Structure 1
């Protein structure tokens, strides 16, 4: 029995537990996709594509260069020669040439060599005459002479050439006098007769000689009536003599019987070979298709120079306008030389078909 005032009996079931309240954290705000103030990752797909660069301006319209007869062939030749060997030094090249041709020299004679050091230049297109003139100019006006481009431009401005070729030695002489500041003398009646001694004395003093001739396959003179007309320049001569003067000459240590003038001593002029003595005179020449000197028999050069009468049929039949070609190619040559300035007098030009006058030096002009 229980008392009414007894305490209530406690329940054995525990009351339910309530968790403590957690703080409320708002979620992070996403960046506004239109807000470009935030840098975007380089690989983001939202990286804007830059605008394309502006188009380059159209190339300027340049007229095609004129077609020059034979230019491609000469450029290929020039590249091949430049790859084959460098430009040889003059003395070494001359000595190589003499050793190569020593069997051509008469053993009963002694030989005197006088040769100036000509530079070499390979022509591009039909520029053989202007290239020969450039070589002569480099010898007359060292160290580099007059640029070839100047010779070409003046020749074209004066109407002497259309594509670089020179058919008139009268024009060549005028061009030499204007551009090189020298006197150019045109010799008539070939390399023989009284002109022979004049030419030899000219070369022995170290001055150049420009010679038109017919070119064979090996660049030596031949006779094709002008169909293979070409220009060469000579600044050296090899003379076969009975006795070498005792004053001013020294024998070559490598080539017995060959004598050179001694530059530091006065030199007695050598005796010139007599007329009609073949194999006693050789010219050392260069032309625009080779770096090297060439040794040509004087009589062979004379015969080639005398028969330049016709124009190449292959060139005449190629359809090009060759109305500028002068008729003065036949039987002419010229050589520039240093002389003192002389007055000139006009004289009708009989060496070309252009009907103009040329200046001719007075006969008393003195060679140096």
Structure 2
């Protein structure tokens, strides 16, 4: 019987041998023993494809500006001061504000805007006065500026503060003179009366004003009898006038009726609105809880400044130490403000 795999046998007699040479055929190569046990598909003989690279991490969110600027946070303070620009495009920020609140301005008046650029710095804790002074320092001190930590340290060394709070305008003036090398004029009896024109002329020359007031939920002035006492720095004023002086002013190309003093030309002083004429004077202010300018009615600021009489009950009960002058908040803040000028400046 023949196997199914055997070739058919035609004869049992082997064929005669010939002398013709046979070609030498090498025997077939035997597969590797491993191949017999684990036969591979033809495609698997190619170079293995490396696995795909891991997905990149999700983009990091932009970190919020540091909010703590105290002596115990030197590195955070250093980074924050490096990021705070001394020229934060103040005019653009103010124009954004004017467009947003254009319904507040009388259409029968023309408006003169004088505003110096201030940097921004966000506070945490009761350091609003020292943050306001630091911002004002951009207009008073050398270009290198005075670090906030220096203001805090000197204030603590002189006994003006325990943790950054400032409840005395007089102490703030002494601190400004010592650290910024500037002139400091203490105003009493409020922002009205003879002080009103003095404040407006001061702001029109581009010098800063430090103002204590009560802070509302939106940072604007309110009346809480000093329970929400806060500090702001003003470096600009918006005046509503019947006629803009012809010398030294240019109309804004985007906001008709708004005029800016031209820095390259001498400006004729504008006529100041009469007292008790509401809605004609607005202060451009910054304070330590916002990066942006705010627009405050002058009368609103004046009224808030005049009613700072009591220390906050919540602060009195929080177990922390505060430096309050003899006579309390009424003696230290009520009806007072601080005019700051460079040392070489005249009134």
| TM-score where L is the length of structure 1 | 0.64
**TM-fit CA distance, 1:166:** 0.3
In 1, the alpha carbon distance for the partners of 2:148 and 2:76 equals: 19
**TM-fit CA distance, 1:279:** 0.3
Relative to structure 1, the CA distance from residue 60 to residue 241 in structure 2 (aligned partners, 3 Å threshold; closer, same or farther) is closer
CA contact (8 A) 1:81 1:290 kept: no
In 1, the alpha carbon distance for the partners of 2:67 and 2:76 equals: 16
In 1, the alpha carbon distance for the partners of 2:89 and 2:296 equals: 19
Relative to structure 1, the CA distance from residue 159 to residue 34 in structure 2 (aligned partners, 3 Å threshold; closer, same or farther) is farther
Partner of 1:150: 150
**TM-fit CA distance, 1:124:** 2.7
In 2, the alpha carbon distance for the partners of 1:205 and 1:310 equals: 34
**TM-fit CA distance, 1:203:** 0.3
CA contact (8 A) 2:132 2:287 kept: yes
Partner of 1:97: 97
In 2, the alpha carbon distance for the partners of 1:73 and 1:9 equals: 102
Relative to structure 1, the CA distance from residue 159 to residue 36 in structure 2 (aligned partners, 3 Å threshold; closer, same or farther) is farther
Structure 2 segments unaligned to the other structure (5+ residues): 327-347
In 2, the alpha carbon distance for the partners of 1:5 and 1:286 equals: 101
Provide, for residues 78-111 of structure 1, a one-character-per-residue CA deviation record: whole Å limited to 9, x for no partner: 9999999999521211110011111100000000
In 1, the alpha carbon distance for the partners of 2:226 and 2:195 equals: 22
CA contact (8 A) 1:114 1:261 kept: yes
Relative to structure 1, the CA distance from residue 38 to residue 183 in structure 2 (aligned partners, 3 Å threshold; closer, same or farther) is farther
Post-superposition, which runs of at least 4 consecutive aligned residues in structure 1 deviate over 6 A? 1-87, 331-337
Relative to structure 1, the CA distance from residue 100 to residue 26 in structure 2 (aligned partners, 3 Å threshold; closer, same or farther) is closer
CA contact (8 A) 1:129 1:165 kept: yes
- Tell whether 2:221 aligns with 1:221: yes
**TM-fit CA distance, 1:164:** 0.4
Relative to structure 1, the CA distance from residue 234 to residue 29 in structure 2 (aligned partners, 3 Å threshold; closer, same or farther) is same
**TM-fit CA distance, 1:162:** 0.3
Relative to structure 1, the CA distance from residue 245 to residue 71 in structure 2 (aligned partners, 3 Å threshold; closer, same or farther) is same
Relative to structure 1, the CA distance from residue 167 to residue 59 in structure 2 (aligned partners, 3 Å threshold; closer, same or farther) is farther
CA RMSD of aligned residues (A): 12.0
CA contact (8 A) 2:121 2:135 kept: yes
Larger Rg: 1
SS of residue in 2 equivalent to 1:284: strand
SS of residue in 2 equivalent to 1:170: helix
In 1, the alpha carbon distance for the partners of 2:268 and 2:41 equals: 93
Note the 1:269-280 alignment, pairs <5 A. Answer: 269-280=269-280
SS of residue in 2 equivalent to 1:71: coil
Partner of 2:331: none
Relative to structure 1, the CA distance from residue 68 to residue 8 in structure 2 (aligned partners, 3 Å threshold; closer, same or farther) is closer
Provide, for residues 229-265 of structure 1, a one-character-per-residue CA deviation record: whole Å limited to 9, x for no partner: 0000000000000000000000001000000001111
Partner of 2:325: 336
Provide, for residues 263-317 of structure 1, a one-character-per-residue CA deviation record: whole Å limited to 9, x for no partner: 1111101000001100000000000001000000000000000000001111111
In 2, the alpha carbon distance for the partners of 1:2 and 1:68 equals: 99
In 2, the alpha carbon distance for the partners of 1:8 and 1:97 equals: 106
In 1, the alpha carbon distance for the partners of 2:68 and 2:315 equals: 12
Partner of 1:30: 30
Query: How many residues end up aligned between the 2 structures?
Result: 326
Relative to structure 1, the CA distance from residue 3 to residue 131 in structure 2 (aligned partners, 3 Å threshold; closer, same or farther) is closer
Relative to structure 1, the CA distance from residue 110 to residue 48 in structure 2 (aligned partners, 3 Å threshold; closer, same or farther) is closer
**TM-fit CA distance, 1:143:** 2.4
Relative to structure 1, the CA distance from residue 312 to residue 79 in structure 2 (aligned partners, 3 Å threshold; closer, same or farther) is farther
**TM-fit CA distance, 1:224:** 0.2
Provide, for residues 320-354 of structure 1, a one-character-per-residue CA deviation record: whole Å limited to 9, x for no partner: xxxxxxxxxxx9999999xxxxxxxxxxxxxxxxx
CA contact (8 A) 1:192 1:302 kept: yes
Relative to structure 1, the CA distance from residue 139 to residue 23 in structure 2 (aligned partners, 3 Å threshold; closer, same or farther) is same
Provide, for residues 199-243 of structure 1, a one-character-per-residue CA deviation record: whole Å limited to 9, x for no partner: 000000000000000000000000000000000000000000000
CA contact (8 A) 2:285 2:295 kept: yes
Note the 1:44-193 alignment, pairs <5 A. Answer: 89-193=89-193
**TM-fit CA distance, 1:153:** 0.4
In 1, the alpha carbon distance for the partners of 2:72 and 2:277 equals: 43
Relative to structure 1, the CA distance from residue 237 to residue 40 in structure 2 (aligned partners, 3 Å threshold; closer, same or farther) is same
CA contact (8 A) 1:184 1:335 kept: no
CA contact (8 A) 1:113 1:238 kept: yes
**TM-fit CA distance, 1:145:** 1.8
CA contact (8 A) 2:165 2:322 kept: no
CA contact (8 A) 1:209 1:233 kept: yes
SS of residue in 1 equivalent to 2:43: coil
**TM-fit CA distance, 1:123:** 1.1
